[in-house]
Amino acid sequence: MKNISRVALTAVAAATLALAAGTASAQFQNRNFRVSNGVSKEHPMGNGLAAMGACTLEKSGGKMKIQPFWDGALGSDLTSTQSVRTGSIDMVLTSTAPVVSIVPALGVFDLPFLFNTAAEADQLLDGKVGDWFSAKMPAVGLVNLAWWENGFRHTTNSKRPITKVEDFEGVKMRVMQNNVYLDTFKTLGSNAVPMAFTEVYSALETRTVDGQENPFTNIENMKFYEVQKYLTLSKHAYSPTLVLFSKKVWDGLSEQEHAVLKECAVVGRAEQRRANRAMEAKSVDNLRGKGMAVNEISPAETARIREKTKVIYERHAKAIGDEPIALVTEELKRIRGQ
Ligand code: TK8
């Protein structure tokens, strides 16, 4: 008698599981979401998207696929974001800086020396303040699924080591298409040139510009070390990455599909940040090994650079908005126990 009930139980359990999987799959349609990236597939954004894609496949019974495109194949941060707004591309991973022309409040994240650590950036972005910024996206045709990490930005150039403020003088510096970065590097004495990420390598190679600034992972991933001699550990800003989904496409999805995309973007976030930080930890040695001359800036000189760029906060407060600046600065004080 016992044997029969065990066999019956096993059959019922198997049928229940199959039904559940079938039901899950039935709640989902076949989807293939195309994602635009400015970086190459070896960048930690690839780790994040691989984790996110495995998650969406598993939770949709194999129906929801994520298809990354690399090296700006679908366009730059800004043009891809515009395409996501029209629905011709489903998703883009972009720095916040180029999106400021669409959502000015994001400009707060470009203010020099805003964040001190990645931990406080995570805490702010993954909390209610990050949600406040994400809530601004639907009005411009976008849905921010999560905050991933570009990282702390450092300066490279082909002219000289930058060890003090005066060394920025006359360096033709590519910056992201963003007024705060333009103003910051002009204020430091550089000849700042706004340019899409996809054009930077060739602009450095042809000496159209002397330098640029980016997190280590981008400097390594884009092989900027091949066309840049000097790396200065300026750590002058922290760039968040937006995981922007098209609201036009989003509005055609089910609640279950929404839930899976949000849940799996958070799974991808953990993996992308982990991979980014693991790569960053080895980057300075790797870049030295590729022939870059690496220098720190002394605390005294960093203090002079911070002092010189403080004016940026006042100059851009109106364009960014008092509310986002207050939200971020108050939350940072709270996180720091100030
Ligand atoms: C990559 C860009 C890049 C950014 C830049 O698509 O443009 O310098 O730092 O990460 O978003």
The proportion of the chain whose per-residue pLDDT surpasses 90, expressed as a percent, equals 92
Alpha-helix residue ranges (DSSP H) falling in the chain: 2-26, 44-59, 77-86, 118-125, 128-134, 179-187, 200-205, 216-221, 247-250, 255-289, 299-309, 311-320, 322-335
Query: So what's the pLDDT on residue 119?
Result: 98
Structure tokens at 161: 């080591």
Q: For the residues 123-134, what does the mean pLDDT come to?
A: 98
Q: How confident is the model at residue 10 (pLDDT cuts 50, 70, 90)?
A: confident
Nearest CA to ligand 1 atom 5: 197
Residue 14 lies in a domain: no
Q: How far is the CA of 155 from the centre of ligand 1 (A)?
A: 14
Residue 52 lies in a domain: yes
- pLDDT of 21 > 70? The answer is no
How many domains does one find in the chain?
1
Residue 139 lies in a domain: yes
Query: So what's the pLDDT on residue 173?
Result: 98
- pLDDT of 18 > 70? The answer is no
Tell me: the pLDDT tens digits for 162-171? Answer: 999 999 999 9
Mutate to test the pocket of ligand 1, among 42, 45, 95, 236 (most ligand atoms within 8 A of CB): 95
User: What's the mean per-residue pLDDT of the chain?
Assistant: 95
* Residue 33 CB neighbour total at 10 angstroms: 20
Domain containing 226 equals 29-327
Query: So what's the pLDDT on residue 315?
Result: 98
Residue 12 lies in a domain: no
* Residue 130 CB neighbour total at 10 angstroms: 20
CATH of the domain at 61: 3.40.190.170
Residue 296 lies in a domain: yes
- In short, whether 218's Cβ falls inside 6 Å of ligand 1 is yes
- In short, whether 155's Cβ falls inside 6 Å of ligand 1 is no
Record the pTM.
Answer: 0.92
- In short, whether 177's Cβ falls inside 6 Å of ligand 1 is no
- In short, whether 213's Cβ falls inside 6 Å of ligand 1 is no
Residue 19 lies in a domain: no
Residue 8 lies in a domain: no
3-state secondary structure of 293: strand
Residue 4 lies in a domain: no
- pLDDT of 189 > 60? The answer is yes
